[in-house]
């Protein structure tokens, strides 16, 4: 599925990974659970457990009691979380990380339920307690840290551009007034491109498959998001390529509800274990290519 050529083109990207797992990519954690969202919102009745989390540590207790981890993942993002149209399974790097966490926390990777999130719905679904955590190509940002607890960095990407081969756009410098840039609602990609190319016309879609379809239909000049996601699109259609150097840092973290610091600690311990026991390396090689370690 992933060709040698593709792997070579990802070389610089993969080099960056070395820093992630060696600790250089670690991001400071948010401090204790001072700012828990108020419990008892109307949506709390849709919680996977049917009970209301009361504060620090309760989500972890609830997961253990329930015996199942409910994880919000992408269904539209090849390599990270993509619903297979034939078999119906959801597959990718984030999915395998989710299963490995279920194994660490509950002793069985099958003790998991996956629910679809998009970039826009993922934090509201966490707040509504429809999911215990988000593992969905989600960048750790200061703004988002006000809303959720993040794990340590588990993957490092950078924003880039996807174009049809032969496009005059070769890098972000080629985005001019009137250039139509396609992106997905609720992503850092939208915020970043508006900041870096304020003259561009940004068209926002609900998910990555819709954005890619729009690019293929000629509705835009380029699609922008994390290079890791764009490589997945390249693998879906060889007429498209990633151009230019990444122009942002997008360190991915697992997001948990604000204040759930016990769960956050458990997830970080589990991630460390996956790195030391070789499970992370296997997942990395399966979906991305040559392992960073
Ligand atoms: N990593 C970026 C973000 O969290 C872009 C990918 C996505 O939309 O999930 O917004």
* Per-residue pLDDT, 276: 97
Strand 81-83, strand 155-157: pairing: unpaired
pLDDT at 85: 85
209 in contact with ligand 1, CB cutoff 6 A: no
CB proximity list for 176: less than 8 A, separation 6 or greater: 199, 200
In angstroms, what CA-CA distances link 159 with 49, 141, 174, 242, 250? 37, 14, 15, 10, 7
CB 63 within 8 A of CB 106: yes
Cα–Cα distance measured from residue 271 to residue 9, given in angstroms and rounded to the nearest whole number: 28
pTM of the model: 0.83
Give the span between the Cα atoms of 99 and 110, in whole angstroms: 7
Q: Where are the domains of the chain?
A: 59-155+252-287, 159-248
Ligand 1 atom index nearest CA of 139: 4
- CB-ligand 1 contact for 188 (6 Å cutoff): yes
Does pLDDT of 5 surpass 80? no
Q: pLDDT band at residue 197, thresholds of 50, 70 and 90?
A: very high
Question: Over the stretch 136-176, which tens digit does the pLDDT of each residue have?
Answer: 999 999 999 999 999 999 999 999 999 999 999 999 999 99
CB 225 within 8 A of CB 183: yes
- What six digits make up the tokens of 264? 């956050």
Closest by CA position to 244, among listed 186, 196, 190: 196
pLDDT above 70 for 34: no
Q: Which helix (H) or strand (E) holds 107?
A: none
Return the DSSP state at 45. G
* 159-248: CATH topology: D-Maltodextrin-Binding Protein; domain 2 (3.40.190)
Please provide the average confidence, as pLDDT, over all residues in the chain: 85
Please check whether residue 119 is in contact with residue 187, taking contact to mean a CB–CB distance below 8 angstroms.
yes
* Ligand 1 pocket test, candidate residues 204, 250, 252, 255, most atoms within 8 A of CB: 250
**Domain 59-155+252-287, second-level architecture:** 3-Layer(aba) Sandwich (3.40)
Per-residue pLDDT reduced to its tens digit, 82-139? 999 889 999 999 999 999 999 999 999 999 999 999 999 999 999 999 999 999 999 9
Q: Which residues pair with 156 in a beta bridge?
A: 251
Q: 3-state DSSP call for residue 160?
A: strand
Of 42-51, 196-205, 275-284, the poorest mean pLDDT is in 42-51
> Comparing 59-155+252-287 with 159-248, is the CATH topology the same?
yes
CA atoms of 109 and 74, how far apart (whole Å): 18
Q: At what angle do helices 208-216 and 227-236 cross, to 10 degrees?
A: 60
For residue 139, the CA-to-ligand 1 centroid distance in Å is 6
Quick one: angle between helices 261-276 and 58-66, nearest 10? 60
């Amino acid at each position: 599925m992933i060709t040698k050529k593709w792997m070579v083109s990802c070389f610089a990207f993969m080099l960056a990974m070395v820093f992630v797992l060696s600790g250089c990519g670690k991001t400071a954690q948010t401090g204790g659970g001072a700012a828990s969202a108020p419990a008892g919102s109307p949506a709390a009745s849709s919680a996977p457990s049917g009970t209301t989390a009361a504060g620090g540590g309760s989500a972890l207790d609830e997961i253990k009691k329930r015996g199942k981890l409910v994880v919000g993942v992408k269904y539209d993002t090849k390599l990270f979380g993509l619903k297979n149209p034939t078999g119906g399974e959801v597959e990718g790097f984030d999915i395998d990380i989710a299963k490995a966490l279920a194994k660490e926390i509950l002793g069985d990777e099958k003790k998991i339920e996956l629910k679809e999130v998009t970039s826009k719905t993922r934090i509201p679904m966490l707040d509504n307690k429809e999911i215990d955590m988000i593992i969905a190509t989600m960048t750790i940002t200061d703004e988002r840290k006000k809303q959720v607890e993040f794990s340590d960095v588990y993957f490092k990407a950078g924003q880039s551009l996807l174009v049809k081969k032969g496009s005059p756009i070769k890098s972000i410098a080629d985005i001019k007034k009137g250039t139509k840039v396609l992106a997905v609602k609720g992503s850092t990609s939208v915020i970043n491109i508006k900041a870096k190319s304020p003259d561009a016309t940004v068209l926002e879609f609900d998910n990555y498959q819709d954005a890619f379809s729009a690019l293929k239909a000629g509705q835009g000049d380029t699609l922008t998001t994390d290079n890791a996601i764009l490589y997945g699109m390249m693998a879906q259609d060889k007429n498209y390529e990633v151009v230019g150097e990444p122009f942002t840092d997008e360190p991915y973290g697992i997001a948990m509800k604000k204040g759930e610091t016990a769960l956050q600690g458990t997830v970080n311990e589990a991630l460390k274990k996956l790195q030391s026991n070789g499970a992370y390396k296997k997942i990395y090689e399966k979906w991305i290519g040559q392992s960073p370690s």
